[in-house]
Chains A and B, each alone.
Chain A
């Protein structure tokens, strides 16, 4: 008898643990019944637009509810991969398409939406056709393009340019000539959130294109042998390090994270003269920078050509859109809610208006009038022209490549900017991993 009581006590002590373990397993979002879950990035003003679309959908569909959760950009990139791998993915997976989407597809983790888009051709027809490229893997569509087109833009602070008495750069030579002039006045030539690494990558994306043309990176994506050692690539990497060595970037750039928006603050507070950043930066400058944008102090331009380079100056890189996929592990009801959201909740008139208000060009067709009527009409027209007239709209490298190659790329880019590896070492390090 005594022994059995002890057995019970022992079991009782063990039970909370196993109960807790079981709870860990079942509390995951994808199994929570009839409610669809949706994870996306936080940070205003974009977060508000995303949340607004969900709220509007929930109000209009009392029986179909979407529960949204927000994450920081850099943290989200790891979180979502881990959650998908653990079978705990949200119903609606927010992402960047491209190489990461391909890994989800190859693992059978996301729904094939090709036939759904066939049945709902009206949904497909109202979006920019160019936005479907990064949503397509091996001829099938696995994601719904959404939100706005986000090319990378060279921003500058007009007040600072006036103060120093210089003109915006028209070539790489101009950039290198501007650097000492700003440094002499104690103003950083370029702001950069270098700890996030993809921020540094945007520079290389443009230098590679302007110097070697789009075929230079295309060869890398296609896994061509020693593609990183192309003489044009070495030239681009060398020019990059020349700018770092000339103190082209703000002091301490390698410890600044883009998630904190400190890089944006450097530009609108006039501590830095220029910044290469995504089109979303306009909205941040507008909401955080006081009267910086409304007073017309924010200047913007495309990345200038490099002397003797092969790339077309209209070429751009960035995010052709954002992408929403549906987890294949979600229940039938959850999938239905997600699809209804795609059809009647994504990029509806109200959301389109809000994107335009933040200074973004939503990927819905036929918004020209709204764009022209906006307070940010000039910037929107500028973005729209880039997106519609670019000869090549390259996808961000870290999203176009597989996660493994992307991590190696970002790692080596950080070291390149740290001047701890030479362009040749950079090329040979990456030659060893691309194509894998």
Chain B
């Protein structure tokens, strides 16, 4: 910001900037905008995915909006979003703060924590499904009563397992973001606090947390918008079951489109997903205040 006010604007050769954006634009238009327009158009048609596409006005929208499955899927999606945010954020902040220390053992632990992020969601889901199998899983194998629950077969438990596995997978990523955030906080703040006699806990709540405000917003946006598209993990783990206990919106869309051959309603659900995602991203930016792009850190 100061560069613009303090110095005369540097002259950019005309025409180069738009071209630099071109590759990204091509990919974005090709893989985001065109499919989006296509999906929007498809939501006004009837198509079984195999035969001809017939325009049918608002039929698909009427079917989706009157389907009792939609509010349920929206509710499950919202719950996954809220609960996984509430579980992941405190854990990630604490782990990130811990890992921000310069000690060697913390770096080693950091590498260990990071492992889940390098695994594919499908592999994680298959592994957990095997571990949690009520008859051949960990609990049954080791004869540990507490562990041999019907983890994926009872609605509440299955939901809990989904949250746990999602957190297990993504806490490392968000810890990494917070680690970076904490390391950016100037040492002088902590030194001053120490002189004033503030303990570690006081320092955490009075310096670290407030300084991380924008990191929290960034990480939360990623979590919230990301949780709208949870699909692979839940699909492999529970297939939305038992019944429809873990059927999130993305899964509902897939089932309607590819299993029930109702591409029209599936497209309508996809449009709803996009709108919800956009609304949430905008809302989170608002929460961050108007100058969300500005740094909270002095000198940066």
The answer to the question of A408 belonging to the interface, with a C-beta cut-off of 8 Å to chain B, is yes
Determine if A255 and B19 form an interchain contact, defined as CB atoms under 8 angstroms apart.
no
Assembly CA distance A116 to B154 (angstroms)? 52
A89 to B26, CA, bound (A): 29
User: Is A32 part of the contact surface with B, judged by Cβ < 8 Å?
Assistant: no
B191-213 vs A, CB cutoff 8 Å, 1 = contact: the mask equals 00000000000000000000000
B78-86, B92-100, B167-175, B239-247: which lies at the interface? B239-247
Kindly state the separation between the CA atoms of A418 and B30 in the bound complex, as whole angstroms.
43
CB neighbours of B151 from chain A (8 A): 252, 255
B135 beta carbon closer than 8 Å to chain A: yes
* B15 partner residues in chain A, CB cutoff 8 A: 3, 6
* Also in contact, A403 and B243, with CB within 8 A (given A252-B133, A254-B153): no
Tell me which of B44-52, B104-112, B271-279, B288-296 binds A.
B44-52
Which residues of A are found within 8 Å of B51, using beta-carbon distances? 103, 106-109
Closest to B132 in A: A255
Q: Which of A39-47, A76-84, A167-175, A375-383 is found at the contact surface with chain B?
A: A76-84
The answer on a CB contact under 8 Å between A21 and B259 is: no
Instruction: Report whether A404 and B26 are in contact in the complex, using a CB–CB cutoff of 8 Å.
Output: no
Task: Out of B27, B153, B255, name the residue touching A17 (CB < 8 Å).
Answer: B27
* Contact partner, A81, options B49, B150, B243, B244, Cβ 8 Å: B49
Whether A255 pairs with B260 at a CB distance below 8 angstroms is: no
CB of B52 within 8 A of CB of A107, answer yes
Q: For the complex, count residues of A whose C-beta is within 8 A of B.
A: 46
With contacts A17-B30, A104-B50, A254-B241 taken as known, whether A407 is within 8 angstroms of B255 at the C-beta atoms is yes
Contact B16 A195 (CB under 8 A): no
CB < 8 Å neighbour of A415 from B23, B49, B136, B243: B243
A404 adjacent to B243 (CB under 8 Å) = no
- Would you call B160 an interface residue if the criterion is a C-beta within 8 Å of the partner chain's C-beta atoms? no
Query: Which positions 391-409 of chain A face chain B at CB distance < 8 Å?
Result: 402-404, 406-408
User: Are A81 and B258 within 8 A (Cβ)?
Assistant: yes
The stretch of A8-16, A135-143, A284-292, A312-320 that contacts the partner chain: A8-16
Give CA–CA (A59, B57) in the complex, Å. Answer: 54
Q: Report the Cα distance A401→B78, complex, angstroms.
A: 34
Interface: A52 (CB within 8 A)? no
B64 CB-CB contact with A under 8 Å: no
**Is B152's beta carbon under 8 Å from chain A?**
yes
* B contact residues around A255 at 8 Å (CB): 129, 132-134, 150-153, 158, 238, 241-242
Q: Are B242 and A418 in contact (CB under 8 A)?
A: yes
A107 to B242, CA, bound (A): 34
User: Is the CB of A414 closer than 8 A to any CB of chain B?
Assistant: yes
Contacts of B183 in A (CB 8 A): none
Q: Chain B 27-51, CB within 8 Å of chain A: the 1/0 string?
A: 1001000000000000000001111
Q: Does A297 contact B (CB under 8 A)?
A: no
Distance A13 CA – B24 CA, assembled complex (angstroms) = 9
Which chain A residue has the least Cβ–Cβ distance from B151?
A: A255
CA distance A3 to B16 in the complex (A): 8
Q: Which residue of B lies closest to A418 (CB)?
A: B243
Contact assessment for B150 and A10 in the assembled complex, using a CB-CB cutoff below 8 Å: no
The answer to whether B50 touches A404 (Cβ under 8 A) is no
Q: Which residues of A sit under 8 angstroms from B242, Cβ to Cβ? A: 194-195, 254-255, 414, 418
What is the CB-to-nearest-CB distance from A255 to chain B, in angstroms, rounded to a whole number?
A: 3
B266 CB to nearest A CB, Å: 11
Tell me, in angstroms, the Cα distance from A408 to B63 when the chains sit together.
Answer: 14
Q: Which residue of A lies closest to B256 (CB)?
A: A407
- Kindly state whether residue B22 has any CB partner on chain A within 8 Å: yes
Chain A residues with CB below 8 A from B49, complex form: 81-82, 85
A residues 64-108 near B (Cβ < 8 Å) are 77-78, 81-82, 84-85, 103-104, 106-108
Chain A residues in 8 Å Cβ range of B223: none
Q: Is B261 an interface residue (CB 8 A)?
A: yes
| A210 contacts chain B at the CB level, 8 A cutoff | no
B134 and A10 within 8 A (CB): no
With both beta carbons as reference points, the residue of chain B lying nearest to A9 in the complex is identified as: B19
Q: How far is A305 from B50 in the complex, measured between Cα atoms in Å?
A: 41
The reply to whether the CB of A245 lies closer than 8 angstroms to some CB of chain B is no
Contact between B23 and A13, CB atoms less than 8 A apart: yes
Minimum distance in angstroms from A199 CB to a CB of chain B: 13
Interface string of A1-27 (1 = CB under 8 A from B): 001001101100110011001000000
Q: Report B103 CB to chain A, min CB distance, Å.
A: 42
List, in ascending order, chain B residues with CB within 8 A of A219's CB.
Answer: none
- Cβ contact within 8 Å between B238 and A14: no
B241, A195: Cβ atoms closer than 8 Å: yes
B262 within 8 A of A: yes
Which 4 pairs between the two chains have the least Cβ-Cβ distance? A252-B134, A107-B51, A255-B152, A407-B260
16 A–B contact pairs at CB < 8 A? A17-B30, A85-B49, A85-B50, A104-B50, A106-B51, A195-B242, A252-B152, A254-B241, A255-B134, A255-B242, A266-B135, A403-B259, A407-B255, A408-B260, A414-B242, A420-B155
Contacts A17-B26, A255-B153, A404-B261 supplied; 19 other A-B pairs, CB < 8 Å: A9-B19, A10-B22, A14-B26, A21-B30, A85-B48, A85-B50, A107-B48, A194-B153, A250-B134, A252-B151, A255-B152, A255-B158, A262-B135, A262-B136, A271-B135, A402-B261, A407-B261, A415-B244, A418-B243
